[in-house]
Amino acid sequence: MLHILMVDDEPDLDMLIQQRFRRAVKAGDIKLSFARNGLLALKSLSEQKKTTPIDLVISDLNMPEMNGLELLLKANFLYPQVKFYIISAYSDQESIQKAKNSGAKGFLVKPLNFKELDEIIDKEKNNL
């Protein structure tokens, strides 16, 4: 089972993701967790390490408290085994390059392309 942590300050994304992947969750293929910012995501990573470790983090770039790049840098240091992708409505080359240079495996543009997200999830499930 692939455990995914979605980090975004927009609650609407939670509902969208839960609807889109409800069958995979019900089948036990994936587990979804959610956090509103980087600080809460780090707390989730720490707590889940004891129960069902998080395998994949998909984080928004711009959030209050701690942005996605700050989260990525801290998570890579504390949890190097966790795969990390950044999502953002802003797809400028500077943001994409910063994310990749900071250790992100990829960069997704909002609104999310679910086919692309499916491919990432399938790839990461196969790498477990």
Question: Into how many domains does the chain fold?
Answer: 1
pLDDT digits (tens, 9 = 90+) for 75-121: 999 999 999 999 998 878 888 898 999 999 999 999 999 999 999 99
Question: Is 95 or 34 the better-scoring residue by pLDDT?
Answer: 34
The structure's pTM equals 0.94
User: Which of 119, 6, 114, 116 is CA-nearest to residue 60?
Assistant: 6
Assign residue 7 the CATH number of its domain.
3.40.50.2300
Give me the pLDDT at residue 79, please: 94
Q: Which amino acid is residue 106, in one-letter code?
A: G
**42-60 pLDDT tens trace:** 999 999 877 889 999 999 9
Per the structure, the complete domain to which residue 23 belongs is given by 2-126
Burial bucket for residue 49 (CB in 10 Å: 0-12, 13-18, 19+): middle
What's residue 96's pLDDT?
86
